[in-house]
Amino acid sequence: MNIKRLLVTIVVYLVVDLPWVMYGAKALNIDWNNAVAKIQGSPLKIKSEYAIISYVMIAVCIYYFGVRNKINNKINDQLLDALMIALAVYGSFDLINYALFDKLPLSVAVVDMVWGLTSVSLTIIITTYIIKKFNI
């Protein structure tokens, strides 16, 4: 495992995903805050330390299955890797939540899955570009 490449992947994933979490979903009126408040009957309270661990875990999956040993893959192969990673991570998360919580709107789950595919794709493409460009 190349620690520098893993760190690049983590940083890129955070840079790609955080604007969506902070602004994008709200702009589309797809708001986890409202969904969670409906489900649990109280406002969302994020436990930051666990959110950070979750981000790192997803980034490690992106690195291991989408970047490591795949720096020279064609864009189609990178997008296929992104699709498989996004289905495994975001698809599982969102569909399990939808199966468990009656008050979770399907639109929230679907948009989050689409965003997962987008964020994983962008992370793989940008990370491999940076690694090649700067010979990391």
Give the model's pLDDT for residue 4.
97
Return contacts of 10-15, CB within 8 angstroms, 24+ apart: 10/55, 10/56, 10/59, 10/60, 10/63, 12/122, 12/123, 12/126, 12/127, 12/130, 13/55, 13/58, 13/59, 13/62, 13/119, 13/123, 14/55, 14/59
pLDDT higher than threshold 80 for residue 27:
no
Tokens 């939540």 correspond to 97
> Which tens digits make up the pLDDT trace of 82-99?
999 999 999 999 999 999
Domain layout of the chain by residue ranges? 3-133
Note the pLDDT of residue 37.
86
Cα dihedral 61, 82, 89, 43 sign: positive
Say which residue, 119 or 44, is predicted with more confidence. 119
Contact 55, 14 (CB under 8 A): yes
Q: Are 46 and 129 in contact (CB under 8 A)?
A: no
pLDDT of residue 79: 96
Give the pLDDT band (50/70/90) at residue 22.
confident
Find the range with the poorest average confidence among 23-32, 113-122, 124-133: 23-32
- Give the pLDDT band of residue 32 (cuts 50, 70, 90): confident
What does the alpha-carbon distance between residue 37 and residue 103 come to, in Å, rounded to a whole number? 10
Contact 68/114 with Cβ under 8 angstroms? no
Confidence band for 29, pLDDT divided at 50, 70 and 90: low
Q: Output the pLDDT for position 118.
A: 96
Q: At what angle do helices 106-133 and 75-86 cross, to 10 degrees?
A: 140
pTM exceeds 0.85 for this model? yes
